[in-house]
Amino acid sequence: EIVKRCRGKNLHFSNFIKENIEKADMIFISVNTPTKEKGLGAGKASNLKWVEACARQVAKYSSRHTIVVEKSTLPVRTAEVIKSILDSSQEEILNNNENKKKSFDVLSNPEFLSEGTAIKDLLYPDRVLIGGDNQRAINLLSNIYLKWVPKDKIIETNIWSSELAKLTANAFLAQRISSINSIGALCEATGADVREVSRAIGSDSRIGSKFLDAGPGFGGSCFKKDILNLVYLCEYFGLKEVADYWHEVVKLNTWHQKRISKLIVKKLFGTLTNKKIVILGFAFKNNTNDTRESAAIQICKDLIDEGAILFIHDPKVDPKQISLDLGISPIKNINQEYKNDFNKGIWHFAENISEAFIGSDAVLILTEWDQYKDINWFEVSKLMRKPSWVFDARSIINPTSMKNTNINFWRIGEGLLNEDNIFF
């Protein structure tokens, strides 16, 4: 709706790079910065090849004073790289005695938009962060945001603080998720309930209640990538203990996903061979079709390795994307084909949830889609094979809805006090 309203007025699309850079007063670099897959820093450092390519295009085609704004999530001191490339173009002009006047300012303006709520986050931001060393350039960028953002929400910093703040914000959010999931595991072992613990600690104004919901672990394109980038930076600057600290956040997230897989195997008598498990949700969070680093990927891979037959449903994720993530093509006519090899785990994309429940041994909820909250479990219990299980990794099921269903119910972070967890 926003694009439609603005297009042709103050929003235009073009692939004429040279002409538009020449006319531009301000240029936002908003390209992807994935984790390097090979070479120095592989698995942790950011791949900045597209950022560098953009900087070189700006250096080549700009014709006036240009403000270059880092919008991508970048490691601290990337602005130095961009500035170096831009400055080299000025030296080239001087060496060639060209009569051109071009100059640059580099600002950092990281985005804090969350998938699924990006438009709301854009219109009503918690803060707008602008880092730079030229106050005039900062003011020009700030004036754009002042059209709709209150002045007290625009934070000005030096450029390095702005770059680091983005990585740190994502690291802190991911840390909270790993922290509450670790406490959820302890709750299950001791008879506590992680929802009650979350409510108690979240009421403390120093802590707050956000990001204290236990789940299957963090995913998405940012958290893991940015923490590993932070780890790499700390290692690069010789801060091994700091690097180890932040690396533990990622390691605990992976452990937690494995813990859920192992728990399902244990509850289903130690084997999943030829057992049908319905997976509800594959996206890393609701209101998006994004599966990048989704907890569902690792958990489903683990269950397939155990020989399970997975019926995967998600209202937004394309089956082709699931195939890419799992590295396995789906079985289409599963009722006939899956009987060929009982020891080989397989998966099928479930178009119809009700049909998927027929003959299933377990249901695992991995994404908090609203439609899963309204499932009639009493009716579902009639379709499942006994003894049946429902594993709620998102805490979206009201436990009272499971009464009189004869379904065994596990909810993340909920412990049952028994002789096994009484230690005094």
Residues 5-43 have pLDDT tens digits of 999 999 999 999 999 999 999 999 999 888 888 888 888
User: Half-sphere exposure of 292 toward its Cβ, with a 13 Å CA cutoff?
Assistant: 11
pLDDT in tens, 145-157: 999 999 999 999 9
pLDDT of residue 74: 77
Rounded to an integer, the average pLDDT of 109-138 is 94
Kindly tell me if the per-residue pLDDT of 138 is higher than 50: yes
Q: Report pLDDT for 342.
A: 52
Residue pLDDT, tens place only, 220-231? 988 999 999 999
| pLDDT surpasses 70 at 212 | yes
Given a cut of 70, whether residue 97 has pLDDT beyond it is no
Catalytic member of 36, 166, 225, 301: 166
Which residues lie below 8 Å from residue 66, measured CB to CB, with a gap of 6+? 21, 24, 25, 26, 27, 58, 102, 103, 104, 105
Q: What is the pLDDT of residues 261-314, one digit of tens each?
A: 999 999 999 999 999 999 999 999 999 999 999 999 999 999 999 999 999 999
For position 116, what pLDDT does the model report?
86
Q: Helices 159-190 and 78-95, interaxial angle, to 10°?
A: 160
HSE-CB for 216 with a 13 A CA cutoff: 34
Q: In whole angstroms, give the CA distance from residue 156 to residue 133.
A: 10
Options 187, 222, 234, 300, the catalytic residue: 222
Q: Take residue 211 and report the two structure tokens written for it.
A: 């990001």
Residue written as tokens 């019926």? 311
318-339: pLDDT as tens digits: 999 999 999 999 998 776 555 5
Please indicate whether residue 251 is annotated as part of the active site.
no
- Nearest CA to 366 out of 267, 299, 320 is that of 299
CB-CB contact of 106 with 86 (8 Å):
yes
Q: Which helix (H) or strand (E) holds 68?
A: strand 65-70
Tokens of 262: 């192992």
What's the one-letter identity of residue 347? W
The single-letter code of the amino acid at 203 is S
Mean pLDDT computed over 86-97: 65
Give yes or no: 276 in active site. Answer: no
Residues 6+ apart with CB under 8 A from 318: 289
Alpha carbon 87 to its chain centroid, in Å, reads 35
Does the structure show a pLDDT above 70 at 343?
A: no
The active-site residue out of 52, 111, 235, 248 is 111
Residue 222 among the catalytic residues: yes
